[in-house]
A = this chain, B = another copy of it.
């Protein structure tokens, strides 16, 4: 099975904290023995590993929205795994589970944080990290609970072909909204319109990006789903309508920022805009804020996925050893769809 073996555990640890954009030296691949299993523990072999922008925040010491990863500790990540050995009565060799196994071949879990995959997911295990997993859950709750879309409204989605953005756009369309995507490059924009069903998609790399976005939103913006920040948010701000809603789940454009930009302080400008236009701007973290509503999400999303009404392109990279470079590329927008590392084979 790929580069996995049954005796040792390859794992990627945080070697040093990035200054600005992460570089390969910030991460280190190392090898260790498999730990012995204690009573009620389960040994899991990672099959799929999810790479997500929030992980950049956890590489920092403090100013992150998640708990920092310690230096020399394994990088955390959601994973889909198979049970290879179990001393827990509820789990058996061969079971497929969703866990937070991290960037490594093997992980040990007690039963509490393990979730067995449903039959739907055993047929498509990587979906547990994507279209029926955390990114889609983020998209669904942010749009529905904070965005509260109404038919006919204009919904603008940053990173429109990314894991979260693609689901936001498709669900907003199902709710009768006009959907305007923003993506990096012509290929992604074409995909957003042709495959994901966005009404239009604007290339954020275009010189006249802000002007094109304005033209694409003749009735202004009612919902802006924010996971980017930076120049994209700058272009969105003047287009926001009265009573607009901004679910905020990520700010990938500023994760590598080491100091605030010099120039005018636009904090009062943003506050004034929120007041004048009576806008709701709300940050959220799906696992912290919406865990009790997971079943609501699954019940809404599963039929859409089965009927082909919501899909998520996967950008699958083979081999744990390629995770660092893939992650660095993710922060640069080089992925196209949900970035997943195939760490091991599906087969037992």
Could you mark each residue 260-291 of chain A with 1 if its beta carbon is under 8 Å from any beta carbon of chain B, else 0? 11111111111110111111111111001100
- Check B278 against A285 for contact (C-beta < 8 Å): yes
Nearest-neighbour CB distance to chain B for A229, whole angstroms, equals 6
Q: How far is the CA of A33 from the CA of B289 in the complex (A)?
A: 61
Q: Count the A residues whose beta carbon is within 8 Å of the partner chain — how many? A: 44
Copies of this subunit? 2
A183 located at the interface, meaning its Cβ lies under 8 Å from any Cβ of chain B in the complex = no
Could you mark each residue 231-271 of chain A with 1 if its beta carbon is under 8 Å from any beta carbon of chain B, else 0? 00100000000110000111100100101111111111111
- Check B275 against A251 for contact (C-beta < 8 Å): yes
Contact of A265 among B263, B271, B279 (CB under 8 A): B263
Nearest-neighbour CB distance to chain B for A101, whole angstroms, equals 25
- Chain B neighbourhood of A265, CB < 8 A: 260-267
Nearest-neighbour CB distance to chain B for A308, whole angstroms, equals 33
A186 located at the interface, meaning its Cβ lies under 8 Å from any Cβ of chain B in the complex = no
Nearest-CB residue, chain B, relative to A273 = B283
A294 located at the interface, meaning its Cβ lies under 8 Å from any Cβ of chain B in the complex = no
Query: Footprint of B on A, CB under 8 Å?
Result: 57, 63-65, 226, 229-230, 233, 242-243, 248-251, 254, 257, 259-272, 274-285, 288-289
